[in-house]
Amino acid sequence: MFEESIIESPAQPAYRRPVGITKGPGEATHEFTFVSRDDQQVLKNGEYVYYELADPETVALNNTTGPIPIRRVLGRVIKRVPVQLYPDTFLGEPEIPPAQVAAMVGYNSRTNELFELHVAIMGYYDATTGSFINPWIPPQSGKQIYLADDAMLAQILSRKQHMDPGSATIGSLLTRTPNAVPIVLSVKDLVSTHMAIIASTGAGKSYLASVVIEELMKAQNKACVLIVDPHGEYGTLDQIANYPQFSEDGDGTGRGYRAQVQVYKPDQVKVRISTLNIGDMRQLLPEMTEKQQYLLSRALRKVHETKRSHPWGVADLKQAIKAVSRQKNDEDSEGADDSSTVHALTWRIEQRFEHSFTFDDTQHLDLPEIFRPGQCTVLQLNEIDERDQQVVVATLLRRLNQARMDTERGKVHSGESYLPYPVFVLLEEAHHFAPGGTEVVSTGILKQVLAEGRKFGIGVGLISQRPGKLDADVLSQCQTQCIMRIVNEIDQKSVAAAIEGVGRDLLDNLPALSKGQVIVAGAAVNTPVICRVRTRYTQHGGESKDAPDLWQQYFNKDTQESRRRSDAPLNGNRGFNLLR
Amino acid sequence: MKIGKIVKSDSHINYVCQIFGPREADIQPGPADYAFGRFVRIAVRSERADDPDALLDEALGQSREPVTYAVGVIYDTILQNPAFGALGPRLSNETQVELFSPDYISEKAVLTYIMVLGMMEERAVFGSEPEVLSVMHGVPLLSLELDSEIETMTDEEVRAFHFFSDPAGGPDSQSPYLHMGYIPHIIAQRSSLLPMVTLRIIDQLERLFPQNLSLLSIVKRNFAWRLKVETTG
Ligand SMILES: Nc1ncnc2c1ncn2[C@@H]1O[C@H](COP(=O)(O)OP(=O)(O)OP(=O)(O)O)[C@@H](O)[C@H]1O
Ligand SMILES: [Mg+2]
């Protein structure tokens, strides 16, 4: 290819060859078509080409003194139509190639490959604003079309250059050879305006998310990351500590850097009961009667009043329930008896909380411990009931939001809710925490964080395999979208509806993407791109189980031997009993 | 076998041939010899030296010079009868006419229309089949001359006209394969009989190239559909 052409200089290097000639306007106003033989088969769908245009602004100023700068107007190939198709009748005999028929009637088939390519104009790149400016002048018929070279694309597709501070290289441009054109996200935009990773199951969402996390943990970012991991797939990220990519030697003035990974096992994820509000309670104790709810909400208010910001436990809550009911009985002269309600409520609370390993009187996740720059914290929530997971996430987000608000507003200067840095929270299975159609405990706070997170420095990354089941507001709040293979039509529609920035032509590719290929659009890139996700440094934790292999193992020699040994005493016993 | 001579042309590739009448040739051609769809060839007169040896060789059929032929196909026949429409009283019957005015009878003639499909060049080899030097499908550069003689082609010659390798430079210039390079220009002609003649040609080729049946069937089906189904439907 023609990589070495120089982007700034309008001078045409000898090796830059045009790939085709403009035919005319396309279907839409921002499209044009050109014709190419495409001998080297480079003009794939999604490939970038450009035509040259005298800078329209300079021309408009009528500034004839200096040379007029030449702009390279970039466009993306959206359709590739062969111009000369064999007639259907030539295709009637499966064992006879149509070229043979053509040869028989005297047509030398080597030259019949001619394509009409439809291109969507993106515009010329303006380095000062980092955006594409549409000149509104499509190429005239007959104008030469060039293939954009790798160096040019590397400069203009991504906001940042590879290894820049605040950059995240998640892979390379799909239409080019691997690593030829790195796709580099701008971490600042990614983190401040939220990100969504949407794809069908198995498309590589968790893999991509892990790649993003790896990039965030590199020395050029040193991010503060929390991963909510309902399937326990992110534990392997702790290998980050072993790789040199995630450390940096001190330069004498400061300490060196080494990324940390903290993995919290499900039994280490604690929620302090005193952080639960009435909504959480309703979720944890479903189907409470109206009376019970009333009693409980009054009791909660009371215990909050008496304890202020000190933690309280189940015992305190039970006491408050008793006190509130007594008080109520005194107020109601009719002497309605609440004792059965009190009894039932207390019993349910005991059942729910006294043996729970998630909900605790005193312990909970310490915010400054789980949120720390240069540290990635993984909260493994597998084994925790789904409703409890929602409460865990809701309470955590509430506390985080409060802490960031208080810190930013200067209300706290130390202690448990002092977080003087922005954080990034990655939420797997986001549709559990903000399902469309219904409201769960985590929906409200998640929406609030998404809406206000930019102000307080809380970035959220949402991952979901069912965009159709995800709350539409939540999805549209994410300004960076990573969309991978989606087969389901409903899901495709909801993605298209929630995401404006991505053209229809790109979304049409969704079912055709393979594993590990992603369309990235939105704030973190200059223009939507199709990217091949790079391989992880750390091992992937979300491998699918190889069932036949596991069944095979069950029957292999060693395991069979050990099983016989462990089964033996039982068999022996039974035999002995039978004999008797 | 020589069947007639060129008496007129309608264009560079369409010629009218008058079939030899009685006593005009050694063997009088029968209708089967100038049947519809029959392949014929016409020697293109080369600039012969007036070398008496060469003339003798040629006369004896021993010439070693390459001969260029235009190859064509018979696609129409007309029976010419000057007496048609002259319904006046007859003075003499047929046999008497033959006897008293032999010129008159010769004005009755069979005319066939021939379309030229290509050229081939051969050299006679003593004691065996002539050697084919080159074959070309399409419009020949030279036109034919009046009075050139037309001869029918044997199966072997028809096969040689269709099975050859592309001149050097083509994609597979090495191996010979079945050609019907004249089809496009047959189609381009506006004659209602030409599609039918194409079907006849394919029938003959199917007989000569049984190994290419499926290839031929593609062209044949296409023509048959257009000709029979589309025109009727
Ligand atoms: N970029 C990639 N390179 C190599 N392998 C990949 C890549 N992306 C995904 N894979 C492989 O694809 C499989 C599925 O990936 P992953 O676990 O990320 O899917 P997922 O979209 O998170 O699925 P689920 O919806 O079930 O969580 C894994 O085995 C992973 O190794
Ligand atoms: Mg996953």
CA torsion angle for B82, B86, B87, B90 (degrees, to 10)? -80
Between chains, do A106 and B178 touch, taking CB under 8 Å as contact? no
Q: Is B161 helix (H, G, I), strand (E, B) or coil?
A: helix
Q: What is the pLDDT of residue A75?
A: 93
Condensed to tens digits (0 to 9), the pLDDT of residues A98-145 reads 888 888 887 765 655 789 999 999 999 988 888 899 888 899 999 999
Strand partners, A423: A458
Of residues A39 and A231, more confidently modeled:
A231
3-state secondary structure of A362: coil
- Domains along the sequence of chain A with CATH: 2-156 (no CATH), 167-175+178-247+255-269+365-533 (3.40.50.300), 275-343 (no CATH), 547-573 (no CATH)
Given a cut of 80, is residue A545 above it in pLDDT?
Answer: no
CB contact under 8 A, B138 and A101: no
Within-domain flag for B91: yes
- How high is the mean pLDDT of chain A? 86
Q: pLDDT tens, position by position, for chain B (233 residues)?
A: 899 999 999 999 999 999 998 878 888 898 999 999 999 999 987 665 566 666 666 666 666 778 899 999 999 999 988 777 766 666 667 677 667 766 665 677 899 999 999 999 988 887 777 888 889 998 888 889 998 999 999 999 999 999 988 766 555 556 888 999 998 888 888 788 888 898 999 999 999 999 999 889 988 888 888 888 877 87
Task: Judge contact between B70 and B17, C-beta under 8 A.
Answer: no
**How confident is the model at residue A574, as a pLDDT?**
46
For A22-28, the CB contacts below 8 A with 24+ separation are A22/A51, A22/A139, A22/A140, A22/A141, A22/A142, A22/A143, A22/A144, A22/A145, A23/A116, A23/A141, A24/A141, A25/A138, A26/A118, A26/A119, A26/A120, A27/A118, A28/A120
Q: How many CB atoms lie within 10 A of CB A427?
A: 26
Q: Is the pLDDT of residue A32 over 90?
A: yes
Contact call for B180 and A109, based on CB within 8 A: no
Give the ipTM: 0.77
**Plot region of A84 (φ>0 → left; ψ -120 to 50 → alpha; else → beta):** beta
C-beta of residue A89 within 8 angstroms of C-beta of residue B225: yes
In A341-490, which ranges are E strands? 359-360, 375-380, 423-427, 458-464, 480-483
> In this complex, which of B171, B179, B217 lies closest to A110 when CB atoms are compared?
B171
CB contact under 8 A, A93 and B171: no
- The answer to whether B177 contacts A108, with C-beta atoms less than 8 Å apart, is no
Give the mean model confidence (pLDDT) for residues A24-48. Answer: 89
- pLDDT higher than threshold 70 for residue A245: yes
Question: Computed over its alpha carbons, how large is the radius of gyration of chain A?
Answer: 31
Does residue B57 lie in a domain region?
Answer: yes
Is residue B171 less than 8 Å (CB to CB) from chain A? yes
Q: What is the pLDDT confidence band of residue A397, given thresholds at 50, 70 and 90?
A: very high
B100 touches chain A (CB under 8 A): no
Which residue of A170, A198, A206 sits with most ligand 1 atoms within 8 Å of its CB, as the best mutation to test the pocket?
A: A206
Residue B206 lies inside a defined structural domain of this protein: no
Query: How far is A476 from chain B, CA to nearest CA, in Å?
Result: 55
Mean pLDDT of A332-343: 71
Q: Does B170 touch chain A (CB under 8 A)?
A: yes
Residues of A in contact with B137 (CB under 8 A): 106
Residue of B nearest to A110 (CA): B171
Are the C-beta atoms of residues A70 and A55 closer than 8 Å to each other? yes
Q: Separation of A208 CA from ligand 1 center, angstroms?
A: 8
CB contact under 8 A, A106 and B221: no
Nearest CA in chain A to B187: A105
- CA–centroid distance, A190 to ligand 1, in Å, is 21
A379's tokens: 């909260």
Measure B75 CA to nearest chain A CA, in Å: 19
Say whether B179 and A87 touch across the interface (CB within 8 A): no
Give a yes or no: residue B89 inside a domain.
yes
Residue listed under structure tokens 């050097």? B168
- A101 chain-B contacts, CB cut-off 8 A: 215, 218-219
The ligand with the least distance to the CA atom of A484 is: 1
Q: Are B218 and A93 an interchain contact pair (Cβ–Cβ within 8 Å)?
A: yes
pLDDT at A434: 93
pLDDT band at A13 (very low <50, low <70, confident <90, very high): very low
Domain that holds residue B153: 2-179
Average pLDDT over residues A162-180: 92
Report whether B8 contacts B15 (CB < 8 A): yes
Q: What residues sit around ligand 2, an ion, with C-beta below 5 angstroms?
A: A 206, 542
Give CA separation, A513 vs A203, A516, A517, in Å. Answer: 9, 8, 6
Work out which ligand 1 atom sits closest to the CA atom of A544: 29
Rounded to the nearest whole angstrom, what is the distance from the C-alpha of residue A542 to the centroid of ligand 2? 6
**Neighbouring-strand partners of residue B170:** none
pLDDT value at position B103? 65
- Total domains, chain B: 1
List of residues 6+ apart from A326 with CB closer than 8 A: none
pTM beyond cutoff 0.90? no
Which of A93, A103, A104 comes nearest B217 by C-beta? Answer: A93
Distance of residue A79 Cα from the nearest chain B Cα, in angstroms: 30
Q: Does residue B167 lie within any of the structural domains?
A: yes
Q: Confirm if A469 and A436 have CB atoms less than 8 A apart.
A: yes
Is residue B85 included in any domain, yes or no? yes
Provide the 3-class DSSP secondary structure of residue A413.
Answer: coil
Distance A544 CA to ligand 1 centre (A): 8
Protein residue with least CA distance to atom 18, ligand 1: A204
* Residue B186 falls inside a structural domain: no
Residues with CB under 6 A from ligand 1: A 199, 201-207, 465, 515-516, 533, 535, 540, 542-544
Residue B34 included in any domain: yes
Highest mean pLDDT among A467-471, A510-514, B35-39, B138-142: B35-39
Model confidence band, residue A12 (pLDDT cutoffs 50, 70, 90): very low
Of the candidates A93, A103, A108, the beta carbon closest to that of B214 is on: A93
Which residues of chain A are within 8 Å of residue B219 when distances are taken between CB atoms?
101, 104-105
Which position has the higher pLDDT, A405 or A14? A405
Q: Which residues fall within 8 angstroms of residue A578, CB to CB, at 6 or more apart? A: none
Amino acid letter, A225: V
Ligand 2 midpoint to CA A258 (Å) = 27
Taking the Cβ of residue B180 and every Cβ of chain A, the question of whether any pair is shorter than 8 Å is answered with yes
